[in-house]
Amino acid sequence: MAKAFKNRSPVVTPVSDVEQVPGSDKQRLFHLVRLVMLGQGYFRKRMEKCRSPVFRVNMGVKGVAICDRKAIDAMFDVKVIRKEPAFGRLNYNLILLDNYVPSIFTNDTPHERQKAFLMKICQTAQEAQILPTTQRVVTQYLERWGKADANLKQDWENDVRAMLSDIFTEAFLGVSVNPTLMYNMVKGSWAKPGSKLFKTADDAARLLREFLKEALQKSTKLQSLLSTAVDAGVTEEQALADILFMLNFNAYGGVSGALIGCLARLTVTDPKYKDAMRHEVISAVDKDGVTHESLNQMNRLHWFVLENLRMCPPVPLFFGRARNDFILHSSRGSFDIKADELLVGNVYEIHRDPNVFVNPEVFMPSRFEDGVQRNKLLEYMLPGNGPIKESPTASNHQCPGLDITFTVLKTALMYVVTCCDFSLTRIPIWTGKKLRRIGSPDNIVQLLSFKYSPRRPLVHRNSLQIDDLEEKHNYLENSSTFQKH
């Protein structure tokens, strides 16, 4: 197993005077090589060298890294920080959205209007569609994986992503899209314009945009939501771009990484904890069936998901630029930040603060068992572009789909924990070195074996439609975009 990075809190003396941000951001190539080689270890090494949780970095663009819970609050203040369509040096290819800017990158009034629209869509899906859709789609895929051939076992990660694509597109739009298009679009998010990868992504995005327009014209529910968006000052074209970005980048890209990580983590989790999760799930479902209320009773499953999001946050780095000069206050001093400086909030490191999390490099869901301690830990949990205890509003950048994410992850894992026995070809490891393997282990996750044994009342065997799923996969592979259900 790979050696974990050392986790030493930098030893500095708190001062009351405003300091200059320590560290050098010169020698761009040197910084980039270190970043590629060490991944998150690049930040850890610089934090130790500068003896400060706030320090200068160069990720291809110069910036100020923040590895401190108190200081990172500034990044969630929309009056202090402005967003831009980039993740450091990686510029998102807005042409994939027909040059419309999604809510995650906008500011001020445009952001408030777009965010309010997305919140309404997510609320509608959470209240009505996401749970039954997740149940139906997950059980179909579990049946499929139980019959997996060698090719499917080898390509299991992409099939998990396809499952997430089906869940989100069916819950929000009532249709499934070709998961290959979703894959090609997300892979080209920041591909170099003119490259083969970019052209493939551009073609996929064009087909998905055409599909969205057609699907939305046929859905009275979504037409109503679009009318709400237009009434709020968001054009129909902008609303479509926000929906596509949410489904592709956030759901297909982000949530699938978290689920792959959770599934891999199950294979190396303490068997006693897995048994406790299983018994708790069965008890909750036997009493109330599968409902939002019964999901809330599955505490150990919830803590398991929380611990996965702590160790592998779906958004490990936040980016934003200072609107004006300001003083950044951290737990270890105050620092002078100039207007237009790029700030890089490192959630991965904050989730590993040894002063808060005991044995932070150890996967330990039980750390959330004690109610008083759990409340303290949750203050340091930042999985969705903001504190986990902070509700999304039109005026903040907190993920509007955070509740949906938990519902999908917990529902999928509920079935796997109680109805499945599976193994992987390799023991999963997480070193923090592979920055693009967000949420997932360093190595590609491939199936060695998968056994699925449906259990009532979780699954009614006669309600499964595995033949329909196989037919759908064959159809989608031979069609450009989608199939209506």
State the binding site for heme: 399
Q: Binding-site residues, please?
A: 399
The span from the CA of 352 to the CA of 307, in Å, is: 11
For β-strands 333-337 and 18-19, DSSP reports them as parallel
The span from the CA of 121 to the CA of 119, in Å, is: 5
The SS3 call for residue 334 is strand
How far is C-alpha 189 from the chain's CA centre?
15
CA–CA distances in Å: residue 219 to residues 29, 78, 215, 252, 353: 51, 35, 6, 22, 47
Contact 92, 99 (CB under 8 A): no
The beta strands (E) that lie in 163-287 are given as 175-177
Q: Considering all CA atoms of the chain, what is the largest pairwise distance in Å, rounded to the nearest integer?
A: 70
The one-letter code for the residue type at 391 is S
The SS3 call for residue 6 is coil
At residue 235, φ and ψ (nearest 5 deg) are -70, 160
| Helix, strand, coil percent values for the chain (each to nearest 5) | 55, 10, 35
Report the chain's terminal Cα–Cα distance, integer Å: 45
